[in-house]
A and B are shown apart, each in its own frame.
Chain A
């Protein structure tokens, strides 16, 4: 379910690192919680962000959710296709519906995030809380 090789945050963002560049998106758990996504607001290319800092929003019909950067760095690219097709986030959250690419300023930060197994356990725990 959750791609191995990605890193995950407690706020349900994912990070895939390729050399010095990371790709960031929201997880399948996050898109399910949000429901139908209707609008995405992304940062401008060149923006410097710190790990844990909000850099954009994903809005569903019912809610607005801030997106927090899993790592520090500079935004190098944003996924322009989401402006016209925000629903892609519901359809392919771990793939074509990535949000931004970021040049990592501290590659060590990624290692502190959860791996797929840890994240899976984390959301399983969340789901239990929900049904309790």
Chain B
């Protein structure tokens, strides 16, 4: 067990490699109850969400979710999050565990709209069932028409008699669902899902596989790729930064940076050397430190060693060869396009 944002959580159950493989080829179940929830209700709910986040929440339909960033006044990340539009006057934000209280205080500090903000994390549990067989497993426990839930959409429905928000979202690069429900049912739902998944060889997965899966899928992890010093442009998250949506925290700085260009860019790399780059390893270009590895490790499904790092834009092109300093010795690596892994699209 490791302490993660105040939660005691297993790093692994059967082993990270086995869990990773299960999610890529069958399905895995994650207890992600540590994730934080913040609810915003009232006539000004959309205005508040729009003001503190960088993506355009006005584009959401009820029942739709969106990846976004909670911004500082400097256009850097307080957190990354999922914004769920429940109705015109009700939004549910899913935020990182360790940031939850800080996020809540940040939102409240910038709150001058007609809405109520609730730090609701302790009311919710969250389970994620992820992998190509996830829909079949979940279908055994819910009357919801899962086929009709598109990626990044959600419905309210019962799962094994527990009222859930069922979202077709995830942090693994696979198809799958994240279930939000009252905390007291977490053990019951975990057991029911494990049982429903038995014939699919569903396996419980820990934080270790969650990290290798998201890294292989090229997804950012707060505190690694993004933090209060990085902007969406630098992190390759320009697609969630909508300057034309109206005024929001940091929008002026972000507009300037878009014009002027960034001084560093997040890239993906794969090792040419057999050694493994880890978080924090320096990136060396022409004999000088040019950046740092933000996340690095084995990509179990791709059977390569990969990572992400910040480098100056002039060295960020795909195919550029770089060196990573691992325990003081240089190791060759090559910049590759993100994501490292993209799931095969269903042929239906």
- Contact across chains for A41 and B11 when beta carbons are under 8 A apart: no
**Contacting residue for B16 out of A36, A59, A130, CB 8 A:** A36
Q: In residues 91-132 of chain A, which contact B (Cβ within 8 Å)?
A: 130
Q: Do residues A61 and B297 form an inter-chain contact, with CB atoms below 8 A?
A: yes
Complex Cα–Cα for A60 and B208 (A): 11
What 0/1 pattern do residues 59 to 80 of A give for CB contact below 8 A with B?
1111010000000000000000
Choice from A36, A39, A41, A57 contacting B15 with Cβ under 8 Å: A36
Contacts of B1 in A (CB 8 A): 130
Q: Once the chains are docked, how many angstroms separate the CA of A23 from the CA of B159? A: 56
Chain A residue contacts of B212, Cβ below 8 A = 61
Report the minimum CB–CB distance from B21 to chain A (whole Å).
11
- Contact, CB under 8 Å: B274 / A39: yes
B245 at the A interface (CB under 8 A): no
Q: Contact between B15 and A35 (Cβ–Cβ < 8 Å)?
A: yes
Establish whether residues B327 and A62, one from each chain, have CB atoms under 8 Å apart when the complex forms: no
| B275 proximal to A (CB < 8 A) | yes
Shortest C-beta distance, A97 to chain B (Å), equals 16
Interface string of B297-321 (1 = CB under 8 A from A): 1101000000000000000000000
> What count of chain B residues pass the 8 Å CB interface test?
18
A36 to B13, CA, bound (A): 12
A36 to nearest B CB, angstroms? 4
Number of residues on chain A facing chain B (CB within 8 A): 12
Task: Tell me, in angstroms, the Cα distance from A38 to B16 when the chains sit together.
Answer: 11
Q: Digit string of B175-216 for contact with A (CB within 8 Å is 1, else 0)?
A: 000000000000000000000000000000000100110000
Residues of A within 8 A of B12 (CB): 35, 62
B146 interface residue, CB < 8 Å from A? no
Contact partner of B300 (CB less than 8 A), chosen from A59, A61, A130, is: A61
Q: Is the CB of A35 within 8 A of B208?
A: yes
Of chain A, the residue at the smallest CB distance from B329 is A41
> How far, in angstroms, from A59 to B297 measured CA to CA in the complex?
10
**Which one of B17, B274, B275, B276 lies within 8 Å of A36 (CB-CB)?**
B17
Interface of A is mostly: strand
Q: Which residues of A contact B276 (CB under 8 A)?
A: 38-39, 59, 64
In contact, A62 and B275 (Cβ under 8 angstroms): no
The answer to whether the Cβ of B278 comes within 8 Å of any Cβ in the partner chain is: yes
Q: Nearest Cβ distance between residue B2 and chain A, in whole angstroms?
A: 10
A 29-40 binary contact with B (CB < 8 Å = 1; else 0): 000000110110
A55 to chain B, nearest CB (A): 13
Distance to closest chain B CB from A85 (angstroms): 14
Complex contact A61–B208 (CB within 8 A):
yes
Determine how close the nearest CB of chain A comes to the CB of B215; give it in whole angstroms. 11
| Contact assessment for B278 and A62 in the assembled complex, using a CB-CB cutoff below 8 Å | no
Which residues in B have their C-beta under 8 angstroms from that of A36? Answer: 15-18
B278 near A39 with CB under 8 A, answer: no
- Indicate if the CB atoms of B17 and A62 lie closer than 8 Å: no
Smallest CB–CB gap between B272 and chain A, Å? 15
CB-based contact A64/B16 at 8 Å: no
Q: Flag if B300 contacts A41 (CB, 8 Å).
A: no
Asked if A62 contacts B274 (CB within 8 A), the reply is: no
Complex Cα–Cα for A49 and B18 (A): 36
A-contacting residues, B5-53, CB 8 Å: 11-12, 15-18
Q: Which residues of B lie under 8 Å from residue A62 when comparing CB positions?
A: 11-12, 16, 208, 211, 297
What 0/1 pattern do residues 14 to 35 of A give for CB contact below 8 A with B? Answer: 0000000000000000000001
**Distance between B302 CB and nearest chain A CB, rounded to angstroms:** 13
In the complex, the answer to whether B17 meets A39 with C-beta atoms within 8 Å is: no
The 8 Å CB contact of B17, one of A41, A57, A61, A64, is: A61
20 contacts across the A-B interface (CB closer than 8 A): A35-B11, A35-B16, A35-B208, A36-B15, A36-B16, A36-B18, A39-B275, A39-B298, A59-B276, A60-B16, A61-B16, A61-B17, A61-B208, A61-B297, A62-B11, A62-B12, A62-B16, A62-B208, A62-B297, A130-B1
List residues of A whose CB falls within 8 A of some B CB.
35-36, 38-39, 41, 57, 59-62, 64, 130
* 5 A-B pairs closest in CB distance: A61-B16, A36-B17, A62-B208, A38-B298, A36-B15
- Other A-B contacts than A61-B16, A61-B17, A62-B211, 5 sampled, CB-CB below 8 A, are A36-B15, A36-B17, A62-B16, A62-B208, A64-B278
